[in-house]
Structure 1
């Protein structure tokens, strides 16, 4: 039951994360903000995660892990709902891309109100990052503590596989919502004269966040009813400390620093840390801005770009995970060998990603932007 619940939580967080990236161009048009600011908003998830990850991983492992994961899922859900909140504050949009603010706003405040709406998106994404923090470290440690060594790898593999499926549904949800006009339910759709292929079109970006928020909230429910510990038949690991010993021994910063020092002195951990940095450095930028690149340079709608991201890129990641596991099994790599293998393949992937700098397309010819009106 814990494995099913954790897999669902992984699916939910992966779905909402990929949906966030699929709405980048929609948010730019809706709030009239530049691309660099979208990068800040997208990175705010990792900022929220970074604020609490060390403390949650260390102290949370000594407490009731399923309930802490449940709290994290609830926070992720609230953060996702906050991201959608500006749609219900700023009113309806018009075809030119500007916002018709509700009359309650004083004259002259419309632009300021519209400008500040992206802050809600940023704060919601930060809260998503904070809520996501306990899911992976506490979930994986719970599996590792209460399963045999040979089964732990299988269970973790199942969870990781589900986490790859989440982005597929996230991008497909983004594709679906991008086909729906932003003010669906508030305007007569027969009066809308533009199509999703029009550069002025803004899809129902907020709708997907409501769906993702509900799914994330549902993922928290099972964890409230799971026990703090499970029977450990044949498990070689050390039994968890009783609650009273936990409070006395671990809930103090004096044990945190020495543990962190020991961890940073582990060569396998350092290699894995480098691998993660290299992978994210080469992946995040591509995943974040590739849909926008497809839209602008190949003149595709946001819906088409998100669909392509979901059905082409994500299965490639799944294939890489499967082939990597197959090679590790065939080569019979130990822990250090696996770390070196991961580091080598990550460096190769990073070098190959640099070839994107050599690829380019001509800018779209737009009168008054890239061409004069006299040509």
Structure 2
């Protein structure tokens, strides 16, 4: 078997690993809102869970990158992928140890999983229901253990396992592939890996459409839809599927050789015969680690490249983590629809951009300077395509006492005090309930009680509320004062803007990803050959510490600051946010990402200038040596 066959097998196996890890990563992003609602936690806590992957990664990334390059890289990668599979399965565990999900509701009271007892909406019965909930809490009906910590631990283990794939896989390819083929192989690898998110978001869409306790409850008793802010899909199911797939991806790596047959660029140290003669001990390798790291960090171009990447990665981490949530809140889309369309419209352009990126590198044989210029040009072009995002938005829906005042009231100043007004003052409504209904006046009320509804008809999905005094206060007649379950729908133009946003996002992804392979190649070519694995490992470590970990956390806290109506846990305390100020959310999301991108591109441009000078200096030195050779060796 020749080197091309061996390299093809390795790339194929590694691509399967990239596929499984990217599938799980995309699925994790798609479950952000589901996890937030299931565990009743704020976005900042979800940001910690999301960042825990990076925490686990940085614990070992430098050590694995440096020491792993000296040993059997395929087996080390295989061990890491095996650990990823275990961590992924662990993330699904809380579902099996928690009780059934009980969403808050003011319209009905659940005695058990299958039976509903209707209560009068605007009467003393509403207050009785609240007392029953508090009594149930005192009896310990609600689990108090923070089981979301198990999800966090599983994600940390995933990060630890993933640390070996990027640095060792990329350096292995760059060591044994021909120089002109290395970029193309890496491009193919990332293209195949990018297919994973298509399946990840599709899986997320499917699981989000299934109720969390699927098979355990009577679906006819569920009075909320996937569009409801209380809906929780079967978030755990995808982790079981992706975990088993990741375990399968780990197996072939244990049967691959330590090194490929030598080609003209393989170093003497990597030659199989030389490896048999002398394998450096761990002590010898550790002794060289300090000087190698010092040599790497004194490379000014590499440091500038690091800083630029950190700033850009902050924007990327925010964007990739909170885009599903942003689309759900901004355009009123369900998690099912959002995840499906993200996978369908965004991932193919990313894969095509990465493939063309590697092909261009191979076709035009771009050197270090060409790679830097191509990366900068594609990044700037993508930035201009994101400017129209600011004009694509939908206004908040009208929610009485939250975003608009009750008819005849003064403007909302204090949300809690304005939830009760003259039309519902005698209903005994509780502020912490969130069971929205849409009145015939086009206004949403946070519960039938707050709408002043006095009677109900039907059960389950067919339930309607009548004689709603707060709806009548808008000038509606008694015969037109009913309400139905769920929030009022947004304007029709909102859906149109949603599809325009997805189209622009797809084009921006395609343009930006055409610079991804040059971006990776820069980290390999601006350092000495023996430091390639360490340079990639250090890059990933710094990105995790200063980008992947803090970005989801601090931006999650910023998102929490835009919440206008919080949910509440049964035993007291703040739960997940039910509704956001979409205007503030939009400017925080798009504004911060744009500012970070501009700063990173300025730094990248400075790096391009430095690389240009380095290339020119190297060419001048080569010319000087050629001119001096005849003088030093006149006999030639």
TM range (shorter): 0.7 to 0.9
1:300-329 per-residue CA deviation (whole Å, 9 max, x = no partner) reads: 110001112111222332343345446556
Choose 187-196 or 22-31, whichever is displaced more.
187-196
Q: CA deviation at 1:173?
A: 0.8
Asked if 1:217 corresponds to 2:247, the answer is yes
Q: CA deviation at 1:297?
A: 2.2
Query: 1:46 aligns to what?
Result: 54
Tell whether the 8 Å contact from 2:184 to 2:361 is kept in structure 1 after alignment: no
1:267-320 per-residue CA deviation (whole Å, 9 max, x = no partner) reads: 554454345324322222122111112112211110001112111222332343
Secondary structure of 2:144's counterpart equals: helix
Tell whether the 8 Å contact from 1:81 to 1:210 is kept in structure 2 after alignment: yes
- Match for residue 231 of structure 2 among 201, 209, 220: 201
1:130-186 per-residue CA deviation (whole Å, 9 max, x = no partner) reads: 110001111122222333333333322221111211111111110111111111122
Asked if 1:306 corresponds to 2:339, the answer is yes
CA distance in 2, matches of 1:134, 1:34: 32
Choose 86-95 or 267-276, whichever is displaced more.
267-276
Tell whether the 8 Å contact from 1:275 to 1:343 is kept in structure 2 after alignment: no
Secondary structure of 1:157's counterpart equals: helix
Query: 2:218 aligns to what?
Result: 188
Q: CA deviation at 1:355?
A: 7.2
Flag structure 2 segments of 5+ consecutive residues without an equivalent: 1-8, 112-136, 409-636
CA spacing shift, 1:296–1:269, aligned 2, 3 Å: same
- Match for residue 124 of structure 1 among 154, 159, 162: 154
Query: 2:479 aligns to what?
Result: none
- Match for residue 364 of structure 1 among 397, 401, 404: 397
Query: 2:293 aligns to what?
Result: 260
Quick check: which one's helix share is greater? 1
Asked if 1:245 corresponds to 2:279, the answer is yes
CA distance in 2, matches of 1:301, 1:343: 36
Query: 1:19 aligns to what?
Result: 27
Aligned length: 369
Equivalent positions of 1:207-356 (< 5 A) are: 207-240=237-270, 242=275, 245-247=279-281, 250-252=284-286, 254-266=287-299, 269-270=302-303, 272-325=305-358, 328=361, 332-346=365-379, 349=382
CA distance in 1, matches of 2:227, 2:86: 32
- Match for residue 70 of structure 2 among 62, 69, 75: 62
Q: CA RMSD in A?
A: 3.0
Flag structure 1 segments of 5+ consecutive residues without an equivalent: none
CA distance in 2, matches of 1:207, 1:219: 19
Larger radius of gyration: 2
CA spacing shift, 1:150–1:348, aligned 2, 3 Å: closer
Query: 1:110 aligns to what?
Result: 142
Tell whether the 8 Å contact from 1:275 to 1:342 is kept in structure 2 after alignment: no
Secondary structure of 1:184's counterpart equals: coil
Q: CA deviation at 1:43?
A: 1.4
CA distance in 2, matches of 1:281, 1:259: 27
Choose 195-204 or 78-87, whichever is displaced more.
195-204
Q: CA deviation at 1:86?
A: 0.8
Q: CA deviation at 1:233?
A: 4.0
- Match for residue 33 of structure 1 among 31, 41, 58: 41
Secondary structure of 2:268's counterpart equals: coil
Query: 2:95 aligns to what?
Result: 87
Which runs of 4 or more aligned residues in structure 1 lie more than 6 Å from their structure 2 counterparts after TM superposition? none
CA distance in 2, matches of 1:355, 1:262: 44
Tell whether the 8 Å contact from 2:330 to 2:393 is kept in structure 1 after alignment: no
CA spacing shift, 1:356–1:39, aligned 2, 3 Å: farther
CA distance in 2, matches of 1:333, 1:231: 26
Query: 2:176 aligns to what?
Result: 146
What TM-score comes out, normalization by structure 1 length?
A: 0.87
Choose 5-14 or 342-351, whichever is displaced more.
342-351
Secondary structure of 1:196's counterpart equals: coil
CA distance in 2, matches of 1:233, 1:327: 24
CA distance in 1, matches of 2:59, 2:385: 32
CA distance in 1, matches of 2:223, 2:143: 25
CA distance in 1, matches of 2:63, 2:142: 42
CA distance in 2, matches of 1:227, 1:106: 61
1:79-98 per-residue CA deviation (whole Å, 9 max, x = no partner) reads: 1112111111112112438x
CA distance in 1, matches of 2:380, 2:63: 30
What TM-score comes out, normalization by structure 2 length?
A: 0.53
